[in-house]
Structure 1
Amino acid sequence: MGESDSVMEVSLLALPKAVAELRRAVRDRFGDEGGEVQLCVSELMANVIRHVGEGVPVTVRVARAGVRTRVAVSDAGLCVLPGVSAVTVHDESGRGLLLVDAVAVRWGVERGVVGKTVWCEVAGGEGEGGISP
């Protein structure tokens, strides 16, 4: 896979319909083996919609390098930095970052001059090597 095929960057508004469109774009660009990547894109976008606000501008970047794929979702919200929280079997939400934590090799949050980027790295790309933060 060439360099242009290994990186996808999209700027869009955080809307519920965008989640399915992003999953489809990831599948089209990276193939069916990107199921965990699609899950991470979905969950990180859903967090922006729920915690920052529907319709805010976001940038989603998915980059494959070696055996890892890095997903990064950037938004302008700094009100609360995301974290994994305890949920019970009766809770109807709150599992997004638990899912990301379960499938990702690692994940984190970076503050920017304006906003933040929530990122994760998923194993299983092509070739050898890795991605540094």
Structure 2
Amino acid sequence: MRAVELRIPATPKAVPELRHRLRGYDYDVRLCATELLTNVIEHVGDGTPVCVSVVRAGGPGRTRIEVTDPDPRGTPAVLSAAETAEGGRGLVLVSALAHRWGVERGPGGKTVWCEVVREREPAGPGGRDGEDGRDGAVAGLGGVP
């Protein structure tokens, strides 16, 4: 499968369009990509320009998804959503489906990424057991001003 790189505005309309563009990928890859895009809409703003990249990553069955936005602020965090809440579970899903995930910051913004492996274990930020030294409780954009 060829790599995908899309430069699109983060809008609600872009979510099903992204899912359609990734139809050749596994369901988990499509779900993680659309959840990361939805996080930008919710926490950075509707219409924010983003770059979505999906590439095969070092090893059989491993796919890396990256969503880059121009806002370097905000610390992604996995949050508990109320049972009756209509949203707030995006990074919970990403964390459950991804082998590992994290955030990279640069002068022009940030990239939230995850790696999906066909045979996977739930991951905290940075790796299976929070390999980056965090306890696994940090990772979505909840509470970003």
Q: Give the alignment's TM-score, normalised by structure 2.
A: 0.76
| One of 37, 46, 58 as aligned partner of 2:38 | 46
What do you get for the CA RMSD once the two structures are aligned? 1.4
Name the CA distance, whole Å, in 2 between partners of 1:16 and 1:106: 26
* Deviating 4+ runs (over 2 angstroms): none
Write the mapping of 1:3-18 to structure 2, written as runs, cut at 5 A.
5=2, 7-18=3-14
How many residue pairs get matched?
117
| One of 113, 117, 120 as aligned partner of 1:123 | 117
| One of 62, 70, 92 as aligned partner of 2:64 | 70
- Structure 2 residue ranges without an equivalent (≥5): 120-145
Partners of 2:72 and 2:107 within 8 A in 1: no
Counterpart in 1 of 2:134? none
Name the CA distance, whole Å, in 1 between partners of 2:56 and 2:21: 14
Higher relative contact order (CA 8 A, sep 6+): 1
Higher helix share: 1
Q: Which amino acid aligns with 1:80?
A: G
